Every structure is written in structure tokens, then in C-alpha cells.
Amino acid sequence: MGVWYVFRKTLGKPQFWFGFTMIVPLLIWYWIFSFGPIIQAFRMSTVAYKLLDPTNSPFVGLGNFLKIAQHPLFWVSVKNTLVWAVYSFVFHLPLAMLIAVLLSKVRRGRNTYQALIFIPVVVSLVAVSLLFKMIMDPEVGQLNKLFSTVGLPELQWLSSSSSALPTAVVIATWKGLGFFVVILTAGIINIPSELYDAALVDGTNEWQQFWRITLPLMAHTILLITVLLAIGSLQEFTLPTVLFGSEGGPGNSLFLYNMLIYQEAFLDIRFGTATAASLLQFAFILAISILQIKLIRPSWSY
């Protein structure tokens, strides 16, 4: 009896066969396309990868990590990426919050407004990049024509090394805002209206209601958005690449970390250093995710 009996009994169950036939493909797939490559990445980061004879790649220990840190654009890309993340947070969150609060207060047409503000989210990011590159062209672009018509100074937008990065984040915000507006609006609408009624009875104004009710109750959603924004910003690739190609804009001012990894891996074909660079990114993202969750987690609840 014992083990054999349990084994036979399990095999006889219809649940077993259903579960078995579903889990086995999952395991195989994850092994080939997910766990396998992750383990490979760790191995690859410690060797000087030979493209034609991978099994005989010489072991270099932490050499790849030292090498990537000495890449002439390593610190430039790190700095640019961190600045991008900060801008992204500052541009997205307050504006998305303001729109969401107003959407929750509006009496008619909320769904229509939401649907229209959401449009840039569904449109391809590549089309958006091209669109804004046209509009923001300093010589022939429509934006500078508009500015000169109303008497504002014409700006360089994406064409100067000092304004290219913030301008690109403005484009990213324009494209992504609707996504966060929808998440925030759904959260605000779900706050029980009794809380606001009680606050009204206590004689609070809308400003106080926002700071004392809406914001604290939205802490979890805001945290989620912050993490999503941070992780997204640190991996930004498409927008700067489409705007300027892999070289990263005027004076490398839009050369981001993921572009460095891409360049190492697929333009310079140095798989070892590229993977080492990506593992540094992994460690960093992991650290800030944990830090953010520890820092902002509210220690109380209603």
C-alpha cells in the first residue's frame, strides 16, 4: 500500500489528467523561453561570449561588469535614464491625478471624456514619435509656427541637447497619461461616498477632502502607478530610438540604458557585456521596487 496506493489513486482522478496535460506544456514553455534564458543570462555574463563556438567561451568572472562600467557612454546612459524616470514621475502623476479627480466630479459625459483622453494610449508609439518629431521640428514644425503666432519664443524642442530629454518625456506623458487617468479614476469612483458625505457634514472643503480622503485611500493605486512608471522609465527604449535612431539624439542626451544594452548586444555583438549590463539593471529595478513598497506602504487603513 502506501505510496503506490496514493499514486494509483491520483492517476485515477480525472482532475489529475486535466491538470497534468495543462501544467506540462506550461513547464516546458517556461523552461525554454523564461527560466532557461534567465539562467543562461547569468552564465553568459561571466564569459567572453564566442558567437561561433559558444561552449568554449573563456570564463572572465566579473570582467564583463568592469568592462561595461568603462564603456564611454555607460554613465551618460545611467544619468539620462534616471533623469528620464524623475521627469516621467513629475509629469505623469500630478496631471493624471488632477484629471482623474475632475472626471470623478463631472456629472455628465465622463465616459466620453475618458474615451477621448485614452486615444493616444491605443495608437502606436512609433506613430506618436514620428508625429511629434514633425510637429516639434524647430524650423518647419507646427508648434513653433503656433508659438510665433501668439508671440512666444520659438524653442529648439528635440533638437538641442538641453531640451531634448524633457521634451521626449513630454511626448511619453502625452502618450501614456490616459492609461493612468483610467486607473486612477476607477479607484476614486470606488471610494465609498459616505466618507465624503461625512466630511461634508463636518464642514470640510474640497481641498481638505482631497488631501484627507482621496489621496490616502488612493495610496495603493498611486504606489502601483509609481512602480509601473519607474519600471517602465528605466526600460524605455522605443521612443528615443524612433526619434533619433540608436545614437541617442543631440549630444547623446537621449541615450538611455536600454539603448546601451541593445547597442552592446546587437550592434557591437558583445553578448557577455550586454548581459552583464542587463543584470545591473535587474538588480537596480529589484532594489527600488522593494524600497518603494517598503517606503510608501501605509501603516494604517480605514
Partner 1 sequence: MAVIGRAEPARRRLPRRIMISQGLIHAFLLAMVVVAIFPFIWMIFASLKPFKELVESRALLPETWTLQNYEEILGRVNFFAAFRNSIVSAVSVTVVSVYTSSVMGYIFSKYRFVGKELLFTIVLSTMMVPFAVIMVPLYITIANSFGLADNLAGIIVTGFYTAFGIFLMRQFMESIPFELIDAARIDGASEWRIFFTLVLPMSMSPMSALAVFVYLVNWDSFLWPLIVLNSQDNQTLPLVLAGLRNLWWTRYEMWAAGSMLTVVPVMAIYSFASRYFIRGVAMTGMKG
Q: Which of residues 112-131 bind partner 1 (CB under 8 A)?
A: 113-127, 129-131
Q: Are 214 and 188 in contact (CB under 8 A)?
A: yes
Instruction: Choose the stretch contacting partner 1; rule: CB under 8 A; options: 58-66, 158-166, 248-256, 276-284.
Output: 276-284
Among the listed residues 3, 15, 150, 299, the single contact to partner 1 using CB under 8 A:
15
Cβ contacts of 300 within 8 Å, gap of 6 or more: none
135 contributes a contact to partner 1 by CB under 8 A: yes
CB of 75 to partner 1, least distance (A): 18
With CA atoms as reference, report the closest residue to 190 among 151, 221, 164, 152: 221
Verify binding: residue 57, partner 1, rule CB under 8 A. no
Q: Which stretch in 59-67, 81-89, 181-189, 196-204 sits in contact with partner 1 by CB under 8 A? A: 181-189
Residue 213 or 234: which CB sits closer to partner 1? 234
Shortest approach of partner 1 to residue 153 CB, angstroms? 17
Instruction: Please report how close the Cβ of residue 137 comes to partner 1 at its closest, in angstroms.
Output: 7
106 scored as a contact of partner 1 (CB under 8 A): yes
Cα distance between residue 60 and residue 272, in whole Å: 10
- Judge whether 213 and 191 are in contact, CB under 8 Å: yes
What whole-number distance in Å separates Cα of residue 5 and Cα of residue 3?
A: 5
In the complex, least distance from residue 236 CB atom to partner 1, rounded to whole angstroms: 10
Nearest approach, Cβ of residue 140 and partner 1 (Å): 4
Which residue lies nearer to partner 1 by CB, 88 or 185? 185
SS3 21: helix
Q: SS3 string of 114-148?
A: HHHHCHHHHCCHHHHHHHHHHHCCCCCCHHHHHHH
Chain positions 206 to 245 lying near partner 1, rule: CB under 8 A, are 221, 224, 231, 234-235, 237-238, 241-242, 245
Contact criterion met (CB below 8 Å) for 273 and 67 = yes
Q: Specify the residue, 95 or 195, whose C-beta has the smaller distance to partner 1.
A: 95
Q: How far is the CB of 218 from partner 1 (least distance, A)?
A: 11
Q: Which of 144, 172, 155, 159 is nearest to 83 (CA)?
A: 172
